[in-house]
């Protein structure tokens, strides 16, 4: 039976906008809610809920004070003078620079973190075991550095908040964004209480150029970072293989107390910034697998959805993900023909990647030693 899903959303999210000509525009937060209500008007499937923006105290769980102070001042229209502009490279990469006045971008970034906080509360307390954060997944941001269109890392916040507020000892983070979650990885690289599984396009071929198989964590966290770099053009069959051979077995052995997932539409074959080959059915499959893994922890899952760089695909893929997570039917109509197969070459390359992952991690996980 379909469940009632909490969807964290506020209109102010549209302020997370880097301006004309930038790949990350805030209109995605207007496009998707309209698309959702058009395709699934029955409100018994979901409820929109509002969260408060993160406070400075909240942000200090994941960021250094000077970074918060600079970002708060810089991303305000009245403070884009020479003083702040000259300091920008100390705290952010060039792709985080707005094209024009940013308005309330930083306030929207705080809202994204606030939504993650409320979603965690809802899931842990059981009021809404599954909660979706629209706008989440800012997985490139680090404690003192923003990059890749990410200002504050809501994924890292969720992991640390669950540790601090609820004392959870086994948190599984699954990152299915096409880009490796280099920021999130850095936060938990030495932490055995967080199993970070990152499924992304081969970093030899895509930003941020990290997320390789041999990067497995350090110290007590060694073996708890799992990178799964997919070859370009990997499609549904490749994703299914990786879930069956690596992700699901790891989840069963780890026995998480809660599941966090982030990632939007950019693994789709029509995305403008990436080179993967997932279809809408593949996105639904990811949602279904997340639902299966959440059953290991009483159904508790927080889903953070924000990425995607094709306006036509973005709402379709987001809805496909949510439909799989919450187990409700929606039409999955591709706007363009699915690319022809390559005779299995990419699938064979993916099998080789899986073999290498098992070889590297078999000493840490019994399920990968079989």
Q: Enumerate the active-site residues.
A: 140
Kindly give the pairing relationship between strand 301-305 and strand 258-262: parallel
What is the rounded distance in angstroms from the CA atom of residue 264 to the CA atom of residue 283?
9
What is the rounded distance in angstroms from the CA atom of residue 26 to the CA atom of residue 107?
13
- φ and ψ of 302, to 5 deg: -115, 125
What is the rounded distance in angstroms from the CA atom of residue 21 to the CA atom of residue 320?
27
Check: CB of residue 179 under 8 Å from CB of residue 200. Answer: yes
First to last CA, the chain: 35
What is the rounded distance in angstroms from the CA atom of residue 32 to the CA atom of residue 114?
20
Half-sphere exposure of 331 (CA within 13 A, CB side): 7
Q: Provide the token pair at 216.
A: 């497995």
Check: CB of residue 208 under 8 Å from CB of residue 145. Answer: no
Q: Collect contacts of 35-44 with beta carbons under 8 A, ≥24 apart.
A: 35/315, 35/316, 35/319, 36/7, 36/315, 36/319, 36/322, 39/319, 39/330, 39/331, 40/319, 40/328, 40/330, 44/2, 44/4
Tell me the three state secondary structure of residue 196: strand
Q: Provide the token pair at 286.
A: 């990811």
User: CB within 8 A of 93, min separation 6: which ones?
Assistant: 145, 146, 147, 148
Check: CB of residue 175 under 8 Å from CB of residue 164. Answer: no
**Tokens 């809610």 belong to residue:** 33
């Amino acid at each position: 039976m379909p469940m009632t899903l909490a969807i964290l959303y506020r209109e102010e999210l549209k302020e997370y906008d880097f301006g004309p000509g930038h790949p990350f525009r805030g209109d995605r937060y207007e496009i998707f809610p309209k698309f959702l209500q058009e395709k699934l008007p029955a409100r018994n499937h979901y409820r929109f809920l509002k969260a408060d923006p993160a406070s400075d105290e909240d942000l200090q769980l994941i960021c250094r004070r000077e970074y918060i102070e600079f970002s708060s001042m810089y991303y305000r229209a009245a403070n884009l003078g020479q003083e702040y502009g000259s300091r920008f490279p100390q705290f952010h990469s060039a792709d985080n620079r707005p094209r024009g006045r940013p308005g309330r971008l930083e306030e929207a970034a705080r809202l994204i973190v606030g939504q993650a906080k409320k979603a965690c509360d809802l899931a842990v307390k059981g009021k809404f075991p599954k909660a979706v954060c629209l706008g989440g997944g800012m997985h490139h941001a680090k404690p003192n550095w923003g990059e890749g269109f990410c200002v504050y890392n809501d994924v890292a916040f969720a992991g640390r908040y669950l540790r601090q507020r609820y004392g959870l000892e086994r948190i599984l983070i699954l990152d299915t964004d096409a880009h490796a979650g280099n920021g999130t990885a850095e936060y938990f690289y030495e932490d055995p209480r967080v199993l970070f599984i990152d499924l992304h396009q081969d970093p030899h071929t895509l930003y941020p150029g990290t997320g390789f198989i041999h990067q497995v964590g350090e110290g007590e966290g060694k073996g708890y970072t799992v990178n799964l770099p997919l070859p370009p053009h990997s499609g549904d069959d490749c994703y299914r293989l990786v879930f069956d051979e690596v992700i699901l077995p790891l989840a069963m052995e780890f026995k998480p107390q809660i599941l966090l997932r982030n990632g939007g539409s950019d693994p789709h074959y029509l995305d403008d910034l990436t080179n993967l080959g997932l279809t809408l059915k593949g996105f639904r499959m990811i949602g279904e697998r997340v639902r299966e893994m959440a059953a290991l922890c009483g159904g508790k899952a927080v889903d953070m959805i924000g990425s995607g760089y094709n306006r036509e695909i973005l709402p379709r893929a987001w809805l496909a993900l949510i439909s799989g997570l919450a187990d409700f039917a929606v039409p999955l109509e591709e706007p363009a023909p699915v690319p022809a197969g390559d005779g299995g070459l990419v699938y064979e390359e993916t099998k080789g990647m899986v073999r290498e992952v098992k070889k590297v991690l078999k000493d840490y996980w019994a399920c990968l030693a079989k």
